[in-house]
Amino acid sequence: MKLPPGQRAVGGFPRFGKDLKSPPPPVPADPVIKLVGALTEDITLPVAELAKLPRREVRADFHCVAGWSATGLVWEGVAFRDFYREVVEPALRPGAVVSHLVFVGADGVRGVVMLEDALGEEVLLAERLGGEPLTGAHGAPVRLVSPWQYGYVNVKHLVRVEFHVAAPPLTDRWSPLAAHSRARVWKEERHRRLPGRVVRPVYRGLVAAIRAASARQGRRRERG
């Protein structure tokens, strides 16, 4: 299978993220997802309720903006578009036209996704990977999976989804890693202003540094 431009296959599926030195956030006994924003009122949705929606399986490759790809992953969960139609739309404020979503993880990581991208056919609220419940490494209890977008919008450990009627303010406007608002892998939208091709080496350097820091931490943990 061909990979998107600038991507290389890695063996297996590494855990990755902004804080690999910390263990994944613990999963509460009865996890919930808060739904907030353009709704008549906030909703606290038990993750267990997702089981009532139609199940969907997606086989896809996963692409981190830093340049590695994991191939042939099999995810299972609920299609985001089914969730949106059945849970969100009936709760929207009359007249509200949602344009952007913000997905928030238990570790505070935020991913901004345009509604039209989130409604794509293969976008899942995924609870299972390779026939098993998600592990802490890969986003337990539930994560967003949007295979046509870079990993950074595939937020793990979902605790909150915000429904916005305008583009949310950019918090990383001046960062060298300024995330692209679409992050589409086949268009190599790695960076908000610079062509993806140009920033490839920057992200590659970053991945090496994060890996090294995480390995050092792992060795320290082993030694106790």
Neighbours of 6 (CB within 10 A): 19
Rounded to the nearest whole angstrom, what is the least distance from the CB of residue 107 to Mo ion in the complex? Answer: 14
* Residue in the structure block whose two tokens are 């990993």: 151
Tell me which of Mo ion, ligand MTE, none is bound by residue 214, counting a contact when its beta carbon lies within the kind-specific cut-off of 5 to 8 angstroms.
Answer: none
- Residues at the contact surface with ligand MTE, assessed by CB under 6 A: 13-18, 64, 105, 107, 109, 137-139, 151-152, 154-157
**C-alpha distances in angstroms, 168 versus 78, 91, 96, 119?**
25, 20, 15, 18
Q: Which does 157 bind (CB under 5 to 8 A by kind): Mo ion, ligand MTE, none?
A: ligand MTE
Nearest distance from residue 33's CB to ligand MTE, in Å?
Answer: 13
User: What does 18 interact with, of Mo ion, ligand MTE, none (CB < 5 to 8 A by kind)?
Assistant: ligand MTE
Pairing mode, strands 100-105 and 110-114: antiparallel
The DSSP letter of residue 212 is: H
Nearer to ligand MTE, 14 or 168 (CB): 14
Cis peptide before 141 (omega within 30 of 0): yes
* Count of residues in the chain: 224
Residue number with CB closer to ligand MTE (83 or 152): 152
Residues within the interface to Mo ion (CB under 5 A): 64-65, 151-152
Nearer to ligand MTE among residue 152 and residue 163 (C-beta) = 152
Find the shortest distance in angstroms from Cβ 136 to ligand MTE.
10
Min dist CB 97 to ligand MTE, Å, is 27
Within 10 angstroms of residue 69's Cβ, the number of other Cβ atoms is 19
Element (H, E) at 69: strand 68-79
